[in-house]
Amino acid sequence: MPFSLSRGKIGGGKHRKLIKIRKENECLIYGSYNLILEEDKNIFAYERILDDKKFLIITNLSNYDNTYYNKLNLRFSNLVISNYKVKEHKDINSMILKPWEARMYKI
């Protein structure tokens, strides 16, 4: 069954955690929006930037694994939330995203 916010089926209270993260970070509400990979049909990635705060949101919008590349080194310790379990990793600038995987990093 697809998830439904109204039925609370995202799993493990993730929708509550997302709401809490958004409320605690004005950057996610008021920050400027910067689309990354405009031409990519499978990966939707963007930054939210406000003052010295910056978040990177990456989502695989397909039924297949896709590789995401970035100029930045992303740290596991800066991973805010993900809908899949993410193994602890060193600084990375690429990753294989599972189908419909989404991650948010504070950078």
Rounded-to-integer distance, Cα 67 and Cα 95, Å: 6
How many CA atoms does the CB half-sphere of 71 hold within 13 Å?
Answer: 2
pLDDT digits (tens, 9 = 90+) for 74-107: 999 999 999 999 999 989 999 999 999 999 999 9
Single out the residue of 53, 67, 63 nearest to residue 105, CA to CA: 53
pTM of the model as a whole: 0.83
Contact 93, 73 (CB under 8 A): yes
pLDDT digits (tens, 9 = 90+) for 35-69: 998 899 999 999 999 999 999 999 999 999 999 99
Contact 98, 65 (CB under 8 A): yes
